[in-house]
Chains A and B, each alone.
Chain A
């Protein structure tokens, strides 16, 4: 059953300074996106540097008619982090759970959202989360189209909006160890915030020079920009409610506009437009096609 899909902007993965964050959300207020998820989902050490930007960003986005949700961390281990998570719930906005332990603090009956870092692979899991209070689930990026379709159908039956990764370097792994710090011979505790040097992440290549991965603090991302640009029709037909655009440096508002235009009708123009906006990007869509995520293949019929 086809529905008109809309766009969600996911939380910023990288360590951007307060000014860049401010500019980003100011620009986003005018962008043709339906909802924005804000929050630090990678490393709690970064929060003190930009959390004061959050209230203004929320206000601007809500004023522009966008739905706003707050993201939890993707890996919650410290006592301080558990406390922060509990406090997130008191801010009066829907919470996007990216570490399942956050659910412990959400009373039964309180609605919540589920982010792409939570393992929702099948109908049973979706149904359990739905009856627990989930209203929206952003699926893990590695899922193939067949699974996405089955989950979108299960979501339709359970009253849960199902979202799919649409654009951006895809999160592949998270760790207790900080690989960014390690590159500089430091540990997570004494990192000196080196991840701030790489606002789109730090490149990792193979020994023979092939572009491979991206390091972002404790998170490892793909190097390619994973895109759903060639599967829009199939996703719509499957009943997917929205696509997630993950923030990167560059003209992100331009990216959002190109996507909105594509969803409104002109699908063929999207990839060329994205290519122009992001000339250094390599695009891939292997996951949806059921192949290696780094590959770019034929669109699935």
Chain B
């Protein structure tokens, strides 16, 4: 059966994911060592140890994301995170930074290393480089790749591949984006946040509501209606040309989410080992519902049954879903 790798932002969500049928849960410590460093989210050391014990007792694995890029002069924060993840019983750490990969390979050789999507390893050369240099055993593929490209990649590499199938969609190359720090001073790479809540401002302007990030207007919607979070790349912008015309809309991406349920059989044929669900910042209710549905999907695949579709439409942001880059028309 394909491995289902599920997000856990809190201990409660982790338990819910395991009980809903996750083969593996992934989580992070409550600090800047991972790319979901949001207020009130993530695990203390004690909580992680307890969670790992809970998961292991039920036959599930725990991966710890330490996938931001250590700050110069403060690398020890990330080094301690790796050591503590190992002590807590993590089955693997998910890393992105070259220096941190080298450190982990040298100082914690027995701790399984996975390559985060934040490493943006988008072709077999990159993956083979990381594999031979740092002994990574699995790579999480960037969401910009099509099924054909994933198939081709798997033919040229020896390590396992893990692919996102549901949740928030990052349209830029992950781990290589400074849009957030341009507007706010905080970035996924440096601080583990994108479009941080600390710089969000919702303002009522009569019959409209405005959502700003770092002072820049990202969304303007009718009051009382749908009010998307002002994630930068999902904003509504205007682009004028030199002739006085202007195009306005979601110039970078519509606020939709990824739902590649229908493509799971093809992903399996493409040689993908594990399916990843995005959403450590989502609630226990969301996680339980999504994991249950995807567990049903991978079991259906195992039993040669058709994929269940549309089960999860209500949960996708903006309530419209896309199969993302996996079908090549996206570009």
Answer yes or no: do A and B interact.
yes
Give Cα A194 to B145, complex, Å: 23
Q: Across the interface, do B144 and A175 meet the contact criterion of CB distance under 8 Å?
A: yes
CB < 8 Å A-B pair total:
208
Cross-chain contact B173 with A75 (CB below 8 angstroms)? yes
Cα–Cα distance between A123 and B79 once the two chains are bound (Å)? 13
Q: Digit string of A241-269 for contact with B (CB within 8 Å is 1, else 0)?
A: 00000000000000000000000000000
B263 neighbours in A (Cβ, 8 Å): none
Contacts of A79 in B (CB 8 A): 152
Interface residue B71 (Cβ < 8 Å from any Cβ of A): yes
Interface size on A, residues (CB 8 A): 72
Within residues 187 to 239 of chain B, which ones have a CB less than 8 A from any CB in chain A? 187, 189-190, 214, 216-218, 220, 233, 235-239
Q: Are A176 and B129 in contact (CB under 8 A)?
A: no
Q: How far is the CB of A86 from chain B (nearest CB, A)?
A: 9
Residue among B218, B233, B237 with most chain A CB within 10 A: B237
A2 → B minimal CB distance (Å)? 19
Q: What string of 1s and 0s marks CB contacts (under 8 Å) between A153-190 and chain B?
A: 01000000000000000111111111100110001110
In-complex Cβ contact of A77 among B123, B175, B330 (8 A): B123
**B121, CB-defined interface residue at 8 Å:** yes
Complex: chain B residue closest to A120, CB-CB: B98
Within 8 A of A (CB), among B92-135: 96-100, 102-103, 120-126, 128-129
A276 CB within 8 Å of chain B? no
Q: Which of B160-168, B240-248, B300-308, B309-317 is found at the contact surface with chain A?
A: B240-248
A140 on the B face (CB < 8 A): yes
Q: For A150, what are the chain B residues with a Cβ–Cβ distance below 8 Å? A: 72-73
Any chain A CB within 8 A of the CB of B251? yes
Query: In the complex the two chains form, is A151's CB within 8 Å of B72's CB?
Result: yes
Query: Hey, which chain B residues are within 8 Å of A222, CB to CB?
Result: 182
A to B CB contacts below 8 Å, 5 in the list: A104-B126, A119-B97, A129-B98, A142-B190, A213-B182
Tell me the A residues contacting B by CB distance below 8 Å. 75-77, 79, 82, 85, 99-105, 117, 119-129, 140-143, 146-147, 150-151, 154, 170-179, 182-183, 187-189, 197, 202-210, 212-213, 215, 220, 222, 286-287, 290-295
